Amino acid sequence: MHQAREWNGDWDWETGSRVIADTKPWNESYSEIHEFVTSRDGEKIAAVVKTEDDTHVPCVNGQPWSNTFEKAWSLRFCPDGRLFCFAMNDDEWTAVVDDEPWEETFDFVWNPQISLDGRTLAVNVRSPEGYGIALNGRSWEQRFVEARSCVLSPDGLRTAANVQMESLAEGDILGFAKGVWSLAVDGRPWDARFLNVWGCTFSDDGESVAAEVRPNLIEQTIAVDGKPWEQRFKAVWEPVFRPGTRDVIAPALTGEGWKLLVNGKPLWDRSFTQVWHQTFSPDRRIVAAVACPEFGRWTVVVDGNLWPCTFSHVVMPPVFSPDSRRIGAIFRDEGSWGLVVDRDPWPDRFDMIWDPVFSPDGDTVAVKAEKRGKYYLAVNGKVYPRAYDAMWDPQFSPDGSKILVRAIADGTFHRIVLPVSEVVG
């Protein structure tokens, strides 16, 4: 969020609506149009299209790239506005950014990870030598039997993946039980081996890595830089580092139920039927998580204190405002979706709702929501009456007084800047 605040000051924040592209003529030019994506500043809309000669190409605001491909997928805009996709010609895959393919090609590429500033791209790759990761077009020197996941450090300089160190014959359960999985950082694997490695995460300075590991068939724990916690559990979930420290926080299934632990010891003196998706506030002081205090009821827990409202189906990961004052989380309850902000659920319910977006000062919260197949902007609990056929997450101006809406209506992509005061009345 703080990253967006830095760069969106250059965007056009003049109030009003601009037509960026009429996508209807695309239907006449191309036999097939895949899903639309838009840039965060709302100035571009793009989709992979199929041309007359059966090639695929990203088309941006109606203009196709110069390169064409037999296959193209995973199209998306980076936070800095560059357009990315995977593409294949002559059975060779690579990543393409703004119409520029990486020089190195692979047997296959997938799972793009993009840094917060959009400058760094990491992907999983397979080549004849094995599996690895490529970062900004340069792949790890080391290759592995398999590499699953691709995790990028917050600064975008380092990458990690859980990797298989030895091949196993089909059905070799005894070999598997000895542990053939590890975690590789920048291509260098930990010395330690485990039955499984999952859910890796970097510290915010990128110097340390933690992951869920399974040392044997019936125990799980957290390993930090290859060293497992002494404590063992029936199960654990993804760890996170407390920002600015080497402390690792992770949920674990203990004899008393699920607990949130720090470095293997209880963080709070309470347990839950379930707890996961722990998240730190931007100022690093508060930890919030999704919790199930009793079977079938879900809520948010903040520094160990449960919100009083609970929901029947699910609560999604909490989102902090940039100033750390506020927390919002979307939920599904009794068959419909809603948003709860600071313990108070909005009265409106929707068929679907997206994560909340806070203004830089935290005072305003906006969401994209769907009702009966149409998309709406809702701000501070009030639904703006204009309906769209498609919509992307709203964006706030640096001073929080305006909202950028990116939306399609009747085949036309609009870039709309609304004063917050107009939306909330």
Q: Does 209 bind other proteins (CB under 8 A)?
A: no
Q: Is 193 in the site for other proteins (CB under 8 A)?
A: no
Kindly tell me which of 12 and 256 has the beta carbon lying closer to other proteins: 256
**The residue type at 343:** R
Tell me the C-alpha distance between 269 and 218, whole Å: 25
The Cα–Cα gap between 355 and 365 comes to 10
147: nearest Cα among 160, 168, 159, 132: 132
Residues 314-373 touching other proteins, rule: CB under 8 A, are 314, 316, 332, 351-352, 354, 370
Q: Does 35 bind other proteins (CB under 8 A)?
A: yes
CB of 51 to other proteins, least distance (A): 15
Q: Out of 89, 111, 245, 401, which residue is the one contacting other proteins (CB under 8 A)?
A: 111
Judged by CB under 8 A, the residue of 2, 12, 217, 305 near other proteins is: 217
Phi, psi of 223 (to 5 degrees): -115, 135
Question: How many residues lie near other proteins (CB under 8 A)?
Answer: 50
The site string for other proteins over 72-101 (x = CB under 8 A, - otherwise) reads: -xx---------------------------
For residues 408 and 392, the answer to whether their CB atoms sit within 8 Å is no
Should residue 52 be labelled a site residue for other proteins when binding is judged by CB under 8 A? no
Decide: is 51 part of the binding site for other proteins (CB under 8 A): no
* C-alpha closest to that of 233 among 209, 192, 266, 201: 266
Structure tokens at 318: 């909490």
**1: Cα within 13 Å, side-chain hemisphere:** 22
Q: Does 124 bind other proteins (CB under 8 A)?
A: yes
Q: Cα 416 to the chain's mean position, in Å?
A: 25
Which region among 56-64, 95-103, 151-159, 164-172 touches other proteins (by CB under 8 A)? 164-172
End-to-end CA distance of the chain: 26
Under the binding rule (CB under 8 A), the answer on residue 146 touching other proteins is yes
CB of 350 to other proteins, least distance (A): 11
Rounded to a whole number of angstroms, the minimum distance from the CB of residue 313 to other proteins is 5
Distances 37 to 41, 190, 275, 344, 357 between C-alpha atoms, Å: 12, 38, 33, 32, 19
Cα–Cα distance for residue pair 1/310, rounded to 1 Å: 27
Q: Which residues bind other proteins (CB under 8 A)?
A: 32, 34-35, 71, 73-74, 107-108, 110-111, 124, 126, 146, 148, 164, 170-174, 176-177, 181, 195-196, 198, 214, 217-218, 220, 234-235, 253, 255, 272-274, 292, 295-296, 298, 312-314, 316, 332, 351-352, 354, 370
